[in-house]
């Protein structure tokens, strides 16, 4: 993606000295996205002669549009990239893979705070959550499942509104990529709603972030 050609829409006529891209509001969730295209034919189809199509190297286009939520080939797939993922992609060459595991209500677990907080990972998460603005609190919790007690996992637990769950999950994955080995444990991520916090055992660990 970084080295491949990507296409985007700009106004058909524009007297601005700045390069301005066409964005649109999604009907399903009201979010503003900036469409990008993997092929010229797809960009032309979507433009329908109403806007101009430009081509840029992926890295250059992603750098210029950093901060926008991108949607790849919107008429052909539902593929969204959030700003935090694009920042990680440009910085690390990879945005990582999300893991959002849940536990069955009948599964017995033991939870505790980490003996040693992975400092670099916690700092990266705090910085990202502060910029993101939609996370209210975040915790690091050691979890031992009843059926696998001797193999604990580190759960990163973020408290955010349901409608922000996907972005928070993927932003969390992007933030921890450079520090993935620091805890020395398998890592899982859970994003839960504020009304679930008091009853969820995963929030019984060490709080690493609180929105001010």
- Tokens 């696998």 appear where? 148
The whole-number pLDDT of residue 199 equals 87
Provide the pLDDT for residue 77.
86
Query: pTM for the complete prediction?
Result: 0.76
Reply yes or no on domain 109-210 having CATH 3.30.300. yes
For the record, the structure tokens of 109 come out as: 């677990």
% of the chain at pLDDT higher than 70: 92
Report pLDDT digits (tens) over 107-136.
577 999 999 999 999 999 999 999 999 999
| Domain boundaries of the chain, sorted by first residue | 5-81, 109-210
Judge whether 98 and 81 are in contact, CB under 8 Å.
no
**Tokens standing for 17?**
């000295």
Q: List pLDDT tens digits, range 136-160.
A: 999 999 999 876 777 899 999 999 9
Q: How confident is the model at residue 106 (pLDDT cuts 50, 70, 90)?
A: very low
Whether the per-residue pLDDT at 195 is higher than 60: the answer is: yes
d(CA 191, CA 2): 29
Helices (H), ranges, the chain:
40-47, 58-64, 83-92, 119-132, 165-176
For 62, which DSSP code? H
* pLDDT value of position 146: 75
Instruction: Choose among 110, 117, 195, 202: nearest CA to 157.
Output: 202
5-81 carries CATH number 3.40.1350: yes
Q: Does position 102 have pLDDT exceeding 50, yes or no?
A: no
pLDDT band at 83 (very low <50, low <70, confident <90, very high): very high
């Amino acid at each position: 993606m970084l080295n491949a050609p990507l296409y985007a829409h700009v106004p058909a006529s524009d007297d601005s000295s700045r390069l301005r891209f066409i964005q649109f509001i999604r009907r399903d969730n009201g979010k503003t996205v900036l469409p990008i295209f993997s092929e010229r034919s797809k960009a032309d189809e979507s433009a329908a002669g109403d806007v101009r199509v430009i081509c840029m190297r992926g890295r250059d286009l992603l750098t210029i549009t950093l901060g926008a939520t991108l949607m790849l080939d919107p008429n052909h797939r539902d593929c969204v990239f959030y700003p935090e993922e694009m920042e990680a992609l440009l910085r690390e060459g990879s945005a990582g893979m999300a893991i959002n595991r849940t536990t069955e209500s009948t599964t017995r677990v033991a939870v505790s705070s980490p003996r040693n907080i992975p400092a670099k990972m916690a700092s990266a998460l705090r910085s990202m959550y502060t910029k993101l603005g939609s996370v209210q609190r975040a915790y690091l919790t050691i979890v031992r499942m009843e059926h696998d007690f001797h193999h604990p996992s580190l759960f990163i637990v973020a408290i955010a509104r349901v409608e922000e769950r996907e972005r928070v999950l993927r932003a969390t994955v992007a933030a921890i990529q450079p520090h993935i080995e620091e805890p020395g444990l398998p890592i899982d991520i859970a994003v839960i709603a504020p009304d679930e916090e008091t009853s969820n055992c995963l929030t019984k660990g060490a709080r690493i972030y609180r929105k001010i």
